[in-house]
Amino acid sequence: MKKNIITVLVLAIAVVAVVEIKNRKKAYAPDSSCPDGMCFLPFPEEKMRPGSAREEPMAQQPLPRLLDLGAGKCVPCKTMAPILDEMKETFAGQLDVVFIDVWENEGVGGKYGIRMIPTQIFFDAEGKELFRHEGFYAREDMLAKWKELGYAFDEPQNIEQATSNVEGED
């Protein structure tokens, strides 16, 4: 009798586990607007992190885009926040940097087919996905990847550095 009860319990747990796994796969599978896991512009209007430079309106001309999918309470995401804010400011007019909090915007993870956060997706100016990275991504590594993809962004020179270089030439 005990053997039958244990067998039934094990089978019930197995069925529940299989159903749960299938549901999770559906939740993180790209939808029909992302064929082959490749998503294209335009991006939906999602909530941006409050108080962030990321709340500014998007540029009028099409720019390559760095989309960071993360969450406000995720440690690597919080570590990347100032890097992304700085890149947004430094490369304004050259690169569109966007952060979307997947915990505040349900369904976005599935739309972009992400498996973990943070995930960075590189798009060309037409909205075609060029590359994606999962986990923390250092500024220098992101810029190197953009360069590898054929994009070089001009960094404004530091005024103090430019002044000291001119003074040193005398």
From 41, 48, 74, 130, the catalytic residue: 74
Phi–psi pair at 97, nearest 5 degrees? -110, 120
From 77, 80, 98, 117, the catalytic residue: 77
Q: Are 90 and 83 in contact (CB under 8 A)?
A: no
Q: At what angle do helices 75-90 and 139-148 cross, to 10 degrees?
A: 60
Is 74 among the residues known to form the active site? Answer: yes
Tell me the three state secondary structure of residue 21: helix
Q: Taking the CA of residue 122 as centre, how many other CA atoms within 13 Å lie in the half-sphere pointing to its CB?
A: 17
Is 77 among the residues known to form the active site? Answer: yes
Give the active site residues.
74, 77
